[in-house]
With several copies, the nearest count.
Chain A
């Protein structure tokens, strides 16, 4: 990597040195890193170096390697190059510090792999060295893959919220400045956390409402909007899109209804419109047998904040096929309520995201890639330029699940 800086490797610890001397005494041959003391040689021996990273860039994309292999790969969509790997475990959640100084990973491990004591914590990594600065223990968290709204950081970067389902539904609040767990707040019947700056979080509920959880006081105060969607008949996808600067959330239902909500102490939800109608087609039904274009995937839509364009993975099929692979990407101008472009896409993606650069790049991937092995191994992500609708790069061995970007 061109942007990487290097620093010499620090020396081994003293206790290790002792163990080494003991090993040597017992007849073991080995090479120890030792450039400084090297005697005369025909070739100058090399030093082992460490590599560091710049702050996360808006052109970077973070791809979870899936449910078979741990780790999140980072690629630069400007160059198509691999940048680094962030240590997310399987079913772990990554959140990026809005200031770009840290990566936070919410994870769950047993002390002895498949037994022992369950531990839930947030690992804090320095964004430049990717070294672990420490853990913040929390009481629990939901175990589910491919969700961006189970672990979110407030817009000011000071507070993290972790969704828990144990099977009691609740929110864990974490102070990222003090690196301390603050409190657990029960959240009956709701899930999916959207940071609501100055208030707390907003959440989707199974009665079809949005709950606003006010966490400013000693006691959490939860208020709900009127129900506006049908949580069992036409659910909105967990994958709520959120524009921090406008404090606006965009929700998409299985049938293709697009809702927007203005966040705040009392969120206000707009009347929905149909993405199919916005494309000049008839509205999506909520029953099988009727063929139409439907949104699809684990991460079916991506909002480019600056332009107000929502990119949606779509497939032709029946209702209740909301996990099918996409065959088209629709480019929806939210303000105009118009699908301005429909583009065929290869590889059957079911996750999509868009970089928040002035000239954005789309990244799509088939969650569950990895050839015909069925193992959801890292596959090939496509970087698509929505200005020209051409594939700029194919990122090989990149991800097999959630795609994240700098907000």
Chain B
């Protein structure tokens, strides 16, 4: 049975950040809060199973209808698993918080297909925190979105950690890399 297969989520990050580094070394680096790293629940990710499926059959309804030109619309390609108010409508940008809001260094993630190249990318939905909800352009993408026992893939949680105040203002969709 597959334990963790959110596309290549794990594989990518292992590739990008772990490389020859040991798991222990990786944790040490997380400890310094300098790098991103996934540490999987209970069992390490199976690389074989984590391979992204890029066949047309893998494309969700969202992916089939996504666009790449307007990041203030819910069907912008990166928003495949977002939930909340778009920072792009609220004085921020696709990877910028509005003035006075603080970006959570920790986020949930999605794997979204860019219709321009047909490739899957890992998106970090970083919440901007510490201000009352902007409530401008509310979107809810649910591609591969799970429940709260798999937190990093759940978009209902207020992802405001390591910030001064966890009030939720809006969400960004930061491109982390190819999936």
Q: Which residues of A are at the interface with B, using a C-beta cutoff of 8 A?
A: 1, 4, 6, 9, 11-14, 16-21, 24-25, 27-34, 36-43, 45-53, 67-71, 82-87, 91, 108, 110, 114-115, 118, 125, 128-132, 142-147, 165-167, 169, 188-192, 203-208, 227, 230-233, 235-238, 287-289, 298, 317-323, 374-375, 378, 397
Assess the A192–B33 pair: CB atoms within 8 A.
no
Partner of B135, one of A83, A130, A397: A397
Assess the B177–A45 pair: CB atoms within 8 A.
yes
Assess the A16–B132 pair: CB atoms within 8 A.
no
Interface of B is mostly: loop
A322 to B108, CA, bound (A): 18
A36 to B34, CA, bound (A): 8
Assess the B99–A288 pair: CB atoms within 8 A.
no
Assess the B16–A208 pair: CB atoms within 8 A.
no
Assess the A82–B89 pair: CB atoms within 8 A.
yes
A270 to B142, CA, bound (A): 29
Contact with A along B33-46 (1 / 0, CB 8 A): 11111111111000
* B108: chain A residues within 8 A (beta carbon): 31
Known: A30-B38, A82-B89, A321-B61. A231 touches B149 (CB 8 A): yes
Assess the B142–A322 pair: CB atoms within 8 A.
yes
Known: A11-B33, A85-B134, A235-B146. A50 touches B99 (CB 8 A): yes
Assess the B61–A20 pair: CB atoms within 8 A.
no
Assess the B152–A34 pair: CB atoms within 8 A.
no
Partner of A34, one of B36, B90, B166: B36
Assess the B178–A43 pair: CB atoms within 8 A.
yes
A145 to B30, CA, bound (A): 29
| B82 lies within 8 A of chain A by Cβ | no
Cβ distance A288 to chain B, nearest Cβ, rounded Å: 4
Contact with A along B107-133 (1 / 0, CB 8 A): 111000000000001001010001111
* A118: chain B residues within 8 A (beta carbon): 165-166
A35 to B47, CA, bound (A): 24
Cβ distance A132 to chain B, nearest Cβ, rounded Å: 8
Assess the B152–A39 pair: CB atoms within 8 A.
no
* A115: chain B residues within 8 A (beta carbon): 130, 164-165
A49 to B174, CA, bound (A): 10
Assess the A189–B149 pair: CB atoms within 8 A.
yes
* B2: chain A residues within 8 A (beta carbon): 230, 232-233
Partner of A147, one of B6, B107, B145, B148: B148
Cβ distance B102 to chain A, nearest Cβ, rounded Å: 8
A68 to B135, CA, bound (A): 9
Assess the A129–B165 pair: CB atoms within 8 A.
no
Assess the B157–A142 pair: CB atoms within 8 A.
yes
Cβ distance B59 to chain A, nearest Cβ, rounded Å: 6
Assess the A24–B30 pair: CB atoms within 8 A.
yes
| B5 lies within 8 A of chain A by Cβ | yes
Cβ distance B127 to chain A, nearest Cβ, rounded Å: 10
A401 to B107, CA, bound (A): 24
* A397: chain B residues within 8 A (beta carbon): 135-136
8 A Cβ contacts from B143-168 to A: 143-154, 156-158, 160-162, 164-167
Which 7 A-B pairs rank lowest in CB-CB distance, beginning with the nearest?
A130-B100, A17-B33, A21-B31, A16-B162, A189-B41, A41-B177, A143-B158
Can you list 20 A-B contacts (CB < 8 A)? A9-B103, A12-B162, A16-B162, A21-B28, A31-B106, A38-B36, A50-B101, A50-B103, A108-B166, A110-B167, A125-B100, A130-B98, A142-B148, A166-B161, A190-B149, A203-B149, A207-B43, A230-B2, A237-B147, A374-B138
Assess the A24–B27 pair: CB atoms within 8 A.
yes
* B157: chain A residues within 8 A (beta carbon): 142-144, 165
